[in-house]
Amino acid sequence: MENNQSYKSEKKLAAGILGILVGYLGIHKFYLGYKKEGIIQIVLTFVTFGFAGIIPFVEGIMYLMKSDEEFDKTYIQGKKGWF
């Protein structure tokens, strides 16, 4: 990195918080640009009467546990849709 600045992900914090708080609606997926996965999350939530809401909760925690650079490589550049 130039000027000895640490790497900073622009979407990690927001995606993590959205996943934890309103992920059952697929908001974190739409925020990251994953339309198909967002729609799947909404359908899963309704089909399972909300039990599939644990998936985005876990994903939100995983997002926040990754380093900023690892998050960007995996979810922004690598376009990994799930976990």
Tell me if 48 is assigned to some domain: yes
Distance CA 39, CA 27 (A): 9
Radius of gyration from C-alpha coordinates of the chain: 13
Q: Give the three-state DSSP class for 58.
A: helix
Domain span at 35: 10-77
pLDDT given at position 54:
96
Number of domains composing the chain = 1
User: Higher confidence at residue 33 or residue 1?
Assistant: 33
What pLDDT, on a 0 to 100 scale, did the predictor assign at position 4? 57
| Within a domain: 56 | yes
Confidence grade of residue 32 (pLDDT, cut at 50, 70, 90):
very high
In a domain, 25, yes or no: yes
Look at residue 81 and tell me whether its pLDDT is greater than 70.
yes
Q: Is residue 4 part of a domain?
A: no
Q: Is 79 left (phi over 0), alpha (psi -120 to 50) or beta?
A: left
Mean pLDDT of 25-38: 96
Quick one: pLDDT at residue 76? 92
Sole residue written with tokens 């309103």: 22
Q: Is residue 1 part of a domain?
A: no
